Structure 1
Amino acid sequence: MRIDLHTHSRASDGTQSPTELVHAAVRAGLDVLALTDHDSAEGWAEAAAAADATGLRLVRGMEISTRHEGQGVHLLAYLPDATYPPLAAELERILEGRRSRVPGMLEALRGAGIDLSEADVARVSGHSAASGRPHVADALVAAGVVGDRTEAFDRYLSPGRPGYVDRYAAPLRETIRLVGEAGGVSVVAHAWGRRRDERPDAQAFAELAGLGLAGIEVDHQDHAPAARERLRAIARELDLVVTGSSDHHGEGKVDHDLGCHTTAPEELERLLDLAAAAAAASGRAVPEVV
C-alpha cells in the first residue's frame, strides 16, 4: 500500500485542481492520498467526489501556518471539523494575513525595479483562497523575471530578500489544541527542512506531544538522511506517529513528485486511530476517510 499524506491543489498553491490531483495520484500508483491545502478545506468536497469515483482512499487535511518560539512551523491537521468556530476563525485570520501580504510584496518588488500588479497575481492564482508567496512567485515566472518558483523564492521572496513581507501565523501550541477540539490530529510538517538549526528540538517536541501533537513528518524531500534519522529517533522516543510524504504542488514545486516519500500503513492506522479518539472526545461531526 502506497500512502502520501501531504499534497496541495489549486485550492491553495498547487497547480492541479483537486480532481486532477486525485487522478494524478491514481496514475502514480497511490492507494491513499491526503489533500492538505494551506489553511483551507476548500478542495475537500471535489477531491472526495473524485476519490470516490476512482477508488482512491482520501484523507482530508490541511496545512496550517503557525509560529513557535519566533519561527514558522507548518502543522498538518488531519480530519478536523473545519466548521468548528474557533478553528474556522483562526483559519480565516491566517488567510487574511496571506491575502493582505500580497500588496506589500508587490510594493517591495516595485522598490526592487519589478512591476507586477495584483491582477498579474490573480491570473496565476485562480483567485485561490490561500493566495500568497507561491502565487507571487508564479507571477514572476509568467513575467519572465525568473525561471521557476525556486528561483523566485531564492532571489526575491525568502526572508532577507527584497520582496519578502512577514504575515500572521497562529501560535503552534494553541493550534494543536484547536485541532484536537475540532476532532482532528496534528503532525509537524517538514520540521527541519527549511532551516539550518534543528528546531523544534527533542525537548520542544516532548512539550508539544504533551499538548496533543500526534506525529512528525520525517520522510520529506527537504530533510537530509541524517536529519530523518534524528527525527525518527525523537518520534520513537515520544511514541509519535512517523509520516512520509511528497509535499506535492503539481508543477509548482520541483522534485516533489507524488509518492516520492510515503507513510507506512501501520503508521497511517495509528494516525486514524488517534483521529477517531479525538473525534469521540470532541463530539464534533468530523469528516470520514473515503
Structure 2
Amino acid sequence: MRIDLHTHSTASDGTDTPAGLVRNAAAAGLDVVALTDHDTTRGHAEAAAALPAGLTLVTGAELSCRLDGVGLHLLGYLFDPEEPELLHRRELVRDDRVPRARAMVARLRELDVPVTWEQVARIAGEGSVGRPHIAEALVELGVVSSVSDAFTPAWLADGGRAHVEKYELDPFTAISLVKAAGGVTVLAHPLAVKRGRTVPEEALAALAAHGLDGVEVDHMDHDAAARTRLRGLAADLGLLVTGSSDYHGSRKTCALGEYTTDPEIYGEITRRASGAFPVPGAGGAPRR
C-alpha cells in the first residue's frame, strides 16, 4: 500500500489541477493521496469528484505558522473544513497573500528585477498566490535557473532581500484549532535547512506536549542525518512518523510517491480523526 500525505494543486501553488493530481496519483501507483494545499480546502470537491477507482483521498491543508521568528508549516488532516474559527483563521492567512506578494514584487523591482504583478498573477492563475509563483516569475526572467534557487537569502528565503512577512498562525493555536475541528496534525519538513531557520528540538517537544500528532520525516529536503535525528526525536516524544513527496507538479522536482507513509501510521491518523473521513474512489464529495 503506497500512501503520499503531502501534495499541492492549482488551488494553491501546484501546477496540477485537483482532478489532474488525483489522476496522476493513481497513475503513479498510489493507493492513498492527501491534498494539502496551502491554507485552503478549495480543491477538495474537484479532487473527490475525479477520484479514480482504487485511490483514496485524504482531505487536508498545510497551514502557515510562525514561532519565534521561524516559519513552519503544519499539516492538518481530516478536519471539518466548515468549522468556523479554523475557517476564519485560514481566510486571514489567504487574504494576506495578495498584498504580501505585491510587496515582494515591489522589493524585487527595487533590486532591478523587471518582474511585474501581472506576470505573477498570470502564473498563480486561480490559485492562492505565494512565493513559488514569484519564484517561477524569476525563472521566466532568467534571474535564477530553478524555483528552488529563488528560495535563497539573495531572493525569497525567510529574511532574504525580497522577503516580506505575512500573517501566520501561532502553531500552538493552529494545533488547537485543527483538533477542535476533529483533525490530526503533523509538522511538515521541520529540518529543511535550505528553507532557512529550522524548528529547535525544544520547540518540537513543546508542540508535542500541546497535542501535535506527528512529524514529517521522509521528505526531499531532509538528508539521511536529519531523518535519523527526527526519528529519534519522534520516538522520544511519542509522535507519529510520516513520509511524503510535497508534490507541486512541474514547479518542483519531487515526484508523487517519492516518499511514502507506513500503512500502520496512516491507519492511526484515520483512527484519531473525527472531522472528516477518507474519500474512496470513484467520485463523491468528502463525507463528514
Quote the offset at 1:16 in angstroms: 0.5
Post-superposition CA distance 1:33-82 (Å, at most 9, x none): 0000000001000111122x333111001100001222111000001112
Supply the distance in 1 between the matched residues of 2:155 and 2:70 (Cα, whole angstroms): 20
Contact in 2 for aligned 1:75/1:189 (Cα 8 Å)? yes
Question: Quick one: which amino acid aligns to residue 289 of structure 1?
Answer: P
Supply the distance in 2 between the matched residues of 1:269 and 1:170 (Cα, whole angstroms): 28
Supply the distance in 2 between the matched residues of 1:161 and 1:73 (Cα, whole angstroms): 16
Tell whether 2:18 aligns with 1:29. Answer: no
SS at match of 1:33: strand
Residue 71 (structure 2) aligns with: 72
Quote the offset at 1:136 in angstroms: 1.0
Quote the offset at 1:165 in angstroms: 1.3
Residue 61 (structure 1) aligns with: 60
Taking structure 1 as reference, are residues 41 and 115 closer, same or farther at Cα in structure 2, changes over 3 Å only?
A: same
Contact in 2 for aligned 1:216/1:240 (Cα 8 Å)? yes
Question: Quick one: which amino acid aligns to residue 235 of structure 1?
Answer: A
Residue 171 (structure 1) aligns with: 170
Supply the distance in 1 between the matched residues of 2:240 and 2:180 (Cα, whole angstroms): 19
Quote the offset at 1:160 in angstroms: 4.1
Residue 136 (structure 2) aligns with: 138
SS at match of 1:251: helix
Comparing 161-170 with 183-192, greater Cα deviation is found at 161-170
Contact in 2 for aligned 1:106/1:117 (Cα 8 Å)? yes
Quote the offset at 1:198 in angstroms: 5.7
Map residues 180-199 of structure 1 onto 2, 5 A cutoff.
180-194=179-193, 199=199
SS at match of 1:100: helix
Post-superposition CA distance 1:244-285 (Å, at most 9, x none): 00001011112x11111100000101111111xxx2xxxxxx
Aligned residues: 277
Residue 256 (structure 2) aligns with: 258
Scaled by the length of structure 1, the TM-score of the pair is 0.91
Over the aligned positions, Cα root-mean-square deviation in angstroms equals 1.5
Supply the distance in 1 between the matched residues of 2:115 and 2:68 (Cα, whole angstroms): 34
Comparing 160-169 with 83-92, greater Cα deviation is found at 160-169
Taking structure 1 as reference, are residues 97 and 140 closer, same or farther at Cα in structure 2, changes over 3 Å only?
A: same
Gaps of 5+ in 1: 280-285
Residue 212 (structure 1) aligns with: 211
Supply the distance in 1 between the matched residues of 2:9 and 2:235 (Cα, whole angstroms): 31
SS at match of 2:64: strand
Give me the identity figure in percent: 47
SS at match of 1:120: helix
Tell whether 2:229 aligns with 1:230. Answer: yes
Supply the distance in 1 between the matched residues of 2:225 and 2:101 (Cα, whole angstroms): 36
Post-superposition CA distance 1:199-241 (Å, at most 9, x none): 230x333322222111000111111111111111111122211
Contact in 1 for aligned 2:182/2:276 (Cα 8 Å)? no
Quote the offset at 1:197 in angstroms: 6.4
Residue 108 (structure 2) aligns with: 109
Quote the offset at 1:117 in angstroms: 2.1
Residue 125 (structure 1) aligns with: 124
Give the 4+ runs in structure 1 shifted more than 6 A.
none
Post-superposition CA distance 1:145-195 (Å, at most 9, x none): 333212222342113433211111100101100000011010000011136
Supply the distance in 2 between the matched residues of 1:119 and 1:166 (Cα, whole angstroms): 21
Contact in 1 for aligned 2:9/2:15 (Cα 8 Å)? yes
Residue 4 (structure 1) aligns with: 4
Gaps of 5+ in 2: 280-288
Residue 287 (structure 1) aligns with: 276
Scaled by the length of structure 2, the TM-score of the pair is 0.92
Contact in 2 for aligned 1:214/1:274 (Cα 8 Å)? no
